[in-house]
Chain A
Amino acid sequence: MSEHVMRPEIHRQAVDSAAFGIVQKPLSARERVFNHGGVRKGLLLIALALLWEGYARLLDNPLLFPAFSSMLEAFFEAIMSGTLPARAWVSVKVLLMGYGAGVFFAAVLTIIAITTRVGTDLLELLTSMFNPLPAIALLPLALLWFGLGNGSLVFVLIHSVLWAVALNTHSGFLSVSPTMRMVGRNYGLTGLSYVAQILIPAAFPSILTGLKIGWAFAWRTLIAAELVFGVSSGSGGLGWFIYENKNQLEIPAVFAGLFTVILIGLAVENVVFRSIEARTVRRWGMQS
């Protein structure tokens, strides 16, 4: 049996925070550079390009697999001659039309879906029916209905964007916390102002995901569609550029076309969507 020793109480005076100045340690230069996501991704890109170059030189078969450097050469050549920018612009224009229309219809459909029960059923039914249907499978029909032209392309783009965006937006709306809904209704908000002021910002992480997926789907569909029916009224897009060059066995130019698709995709993802994210969901602490 050990006697428990009563220890004395301790009292200390807290030091005033003004007395110890600023407590922080500066990051090293290496840490600061590496903290930048763009730098990390840039390094990865360079590594991938080097890998490509090395493998292509090892293979030494420029017809099947041209080196990164010859692809770059073809890329700059096509840019200088003005064909690639023109083709890219044609594609991007159609893409934006289709994407915009798809997002608009998705918004209409989801707003109907959250305000009425029949609307919910309709959305669920339509998305489960049409979401698995590849947009490209609708192209023959579209060509029949809208002819050889942008109309058909926009039609299949809407199909590829609409369901992905609508599905994500709707599930985002459903996951808004009951407390936040009650707060909105407490303010006396109803109908559209309730959707715009409470539901859309609260569901913004899901909506943004939907927009990103929709964007990727739209790109894929567009390039595939252009490969299938190629040129319309004398000015084809990137898909046509790729197809044309393949027929002429200009393989580095084929890669340059693919490279352009990748570049535009990277730019949209890392510049447009990233800055929307930084300004909204990250700033609001809804996403880390």
Chain B
Amino acid sequence: MIADARAARDGVGESPLPLLDVRGVTLQYKTSDHLVTATFRVHFQVFRSERFILLGPSGCGKSTLLKAVGGYLQPVEGEIRLKGELVNRPGPDRMMVFQEFDQLLPWKTVKENVLFPLCATGRFSRKAAEQRAMHYIAKVNLTKFADSLPHTLSGGMKQRVAIARGMAMEPDMLLMDEPFAALDALTRRKMQDELLMLWDETRFTVLFVTHSIPEAIKIGSRILLLSPHPGQVKAELNSLPRSGGEADPGALQALEHKIHAMLFADAVEAPTGTGVEA
């Protein structure tokens, strides 16, 4: 019963219309001498306030899939709809948080970086935008560094700025492409906790790409498992309910093993991929 209540609070309970609808999406990209199929007829739906994880090994096309949702890439088959609208170009209604630290504009301070998309889209007046930017900078605990330039910050701080920048836009969906992968283990853990705390406050919808099973279970409310070469949906699982920080270790281990077994069931298969992390 407690789990049910928590599930309702976590927003796992589905509303009738999906926020994001990915239908039979096949993605291909060209390298200099190959046409690589990154994903094959991938199908999933994301509902409001879900923390939806794309999980899979290298080469399963999870990042490519995220870029397609971001509008950087057109599917060769199938369609991607956000709130019923066909996604065909990048836009500020789907803010991206990248893995790379160079996603912040080095010529703008922390505050200007967060402010820039707010002003560039013309959705807010200068004053309202400024208030909003400072609000979200405070949320990621960077008020003291609002006037610093990105190259003076640590990796974790840069990622926090990127998250603040994404959240300040209050997009329909936050797209995160392994945002913590380049961080050290301690910082990564802290950032995961912070992200969940932010989610508790604002209930944003996030599509999160990772290759780490523990991270997927910790961050996600729902996990899409993809198999590699080309990426195909293996399963769509519910993550564990969050119970005040640490999950029940038994259940955690069981789920980890289950996912591990599913991902590596056909690991004996010859690695035919080009080695390109899509």
Q: Which residues of A contact B94 (CB under 8 A)?
A: 186
Interface residues of B in 112-131 (CB under 8 A from A): 116-117, 120-121
Closest to B122 in A: A188
Most chain B CB within a 10 A radius of its CB, from A180, A183, A284: A183
Is residue B141 contacting chain A, with contact meaning CB distance below 8 A? no
Q: Is the CB of A180 within 8 A of B102?
A: yes
Which residue of A179, A188, A280 is within 8 Å of B120 (Cβ)? A188
> CA separation between A9 and B152, bound complex, in Å?
36
Which residue of A177, A186, A189 is within 8 Å of B96 (Cβ)? A186
Is residue B103 contacting chain A, with contact meaning CB distance below 8 A? yes
> CA separation between A157 and B102, bound complex, in Å?
38
Q: How far is the CB of A200 from chain B (nearest CB, A)?
A: 10
Q: Is the CB of A187 within 8 A of B106?
A: no
> CA separation between A115 and B132, bound complex, in Å?
34
Q: Which residues of A contact B72 (CB under 8 A)?
A: 182, 185
Interface residues of B in 25-73 (CB under 8 A from A): 67, 70, 72
Most chain B CB within a 10 A radius of its CB, from A186, A189, A283: A186
Q: Is the CB of B96 within 8 A of A182?
A: yes
Is residue B156 contacting chain A, with contact meaning CB distance below 8 A? no
Is residue A286 contacting chain B, with contact meaning CB distance below 8 A? yes
Given that A185-B72, A186-B70, A188-B92 are contacting pairs, would A180 and B149 also be in contact in the complex, using a CB cutoff of 8 Å?
Answer: no
Q: Using an 8 Å CB-CB cutoff, how does the interface string of A172-186 with B read, 1 for contact, 0 for none?
A: 000001011011011
Is residue B261 contacting chain A, with contact meaning CB distance below 8 A? no
Q: Is the CB of A285 within 8 A of B151?
A: yes
> CA separation between A193 and B119, bound complex, in Å?
13
Q: Is the CB of A284 within 8 A of B95?
A: no
Q: Which residues of B contact A235 (CB under 8 A)?
A: none
Q: How far is the CB of B269 from chain A (nearest CB, A)?
A: 31
Q: Which residues of B contact A193 (CB under 8 A)?
A: 120
Q: Is the CB of A183 within 8 A of B103?
A: yes
Which residue of B89, B96, B121, B152 is within 8 Å of A183 (Cβ)? B96
Given that A185-B72, A187-B120 are contacting pairs, would A180 and B150 also be in contact in the complex, using a CB cutoff of 8 Å?
Answer: no
Q: Which residues of B contact A183 (CB under 8 A)?
A: 96, 98, 103, 105
Q: Is the CB of A186 within 8 A of B90?
A: yes
Q: Using an 8 Å CB-CB cutoff, how does the interface string of B140-151 with A read, 1 for contact, 0 for none?
A: 000000000111
Closest to B90 in A: A185
Is residue A128 contacting chain B, with contact meaning CB distance below 8 A? no
Q: How far is the CB of B30 from chain A (nearest CB, A)?
A: 15
Is residue B215 contacting chain A, with contact meaning CB distance below 8 A? no
Q: Is the CB of A180 within 8 A of B103?
A: yes
> CA separation between A180 and B108, bound complex, in Å?
13
Q: Is the CB of B100 within 8 A of A179?
A: yes
Q: Give me 27 A-to-B residue pairs in the complex whose CB atoms sit less than 8 angstroms apart, sorted by A's number.
A: A179-B98, A179-B102, A179-B103, A180-B102, A180-B103, A180-B105, A182-B70, A182-B98, A183-B105, A185-B72, A185-B89, A186-B90, A186-B94, A187-B92, A187-B116, A187-B121, A188-B121, A193-B120, A197-B116, A198-B105, A201-B105, A202-B106, A204-B107, A285-B150, A285-B151, A286-B107, A286-B151
Residues of B participating in the A interface, judged by any CB pair closer than 8 Å: 67, 70, 72, 89-92, 94-96, 98, 100, 102-103, 105-107, 116-117, 120-121, 149-152
Which residue of B90, B92, B105 is within 8 Å of A182 (Cβ)? B90
Given that A187-B117, A187-B120, A188-B91 are contacting pairs, would A201 and B107 also be in contact in the complex, using a CB cutoff of 8 Å?
Answer: yes
Most chain B CB within a 10 A radius of its CB, from A185, A201, A202, A286: A185
Q: A180-B105, A187-B116, A204-B107 are in contact. List 17 more A-B contacts (CB 8 A).
A: A179-B102, A182-B90, A185-B90, A186-B70, A186-B90, A186-B91, A186-B94, A186-B95, A186-B117, A187-B120, A188-B90, A188-B121, A189-B120, A280-B107, A284-B149, A285-B151, A286-B107
Q: Using an 8 Å CB-CB cutoff, how does the interface string of A227-247 with B read, 1 for contact, 0 for none?
A: 000000000000000000000
Number of A-B contacts (CB under 8 A): 65
Given that A179-B100, A182-B96, A183-B103 are contacting pairs, would A284 and B116 also be in contact in the complex, using a CB cutoff of 8 Å?
Answer: no
> CA separation between A201 and B107, bound complex, in Å?
7
Q: Is the CB of A285 within 8 A of B152?
A: yes
Q: Which residues of B contact A280 (CB under 8 A)?
A: 107
Interface residues of A in 235-263 (CB under 8 A from B): none
Closest to B101 in A: A179
Q: Which residues of A contact B149 (CB under 8 A)?
A: 283-285
Most chain B CB within a 10 A radius of its CB, from A193, A280, A285: A285
Q: Which residues of A contact B100 (CB under 8 A)?
A: 177, 179
> CA separation between A198 and B96, bound complex, in Å?
16
Q: Using an 8 Å CB-CB cutoff, how does the interface string of A145-175 with B read, 1 for contact, 0 for none?
A: 0000000000000000000000000000000
Which residue of A186, A197, A204 is within 8 Å of B92 (Cβ)? A186
Closest to A197 in B: B120
Q: How far is the CB of A283 from chain B (nearest CB, A)?
A: 7
Which residue of B67, B106, B116, B121 is within 8 Å of A285 (Cβ)? B106
Q: Is the CB of A284 within 8 A of B151?
A: yes
Top 4 A-B residue pairs of the complex, sorted by shortest distance between their CB atoms = A285-B151, A284-B106, A185-B90, A187-B117
Closest to B116 in A: A187
Q: Which residues of B contact A202 (CB under 8 A)?
A: 105-107
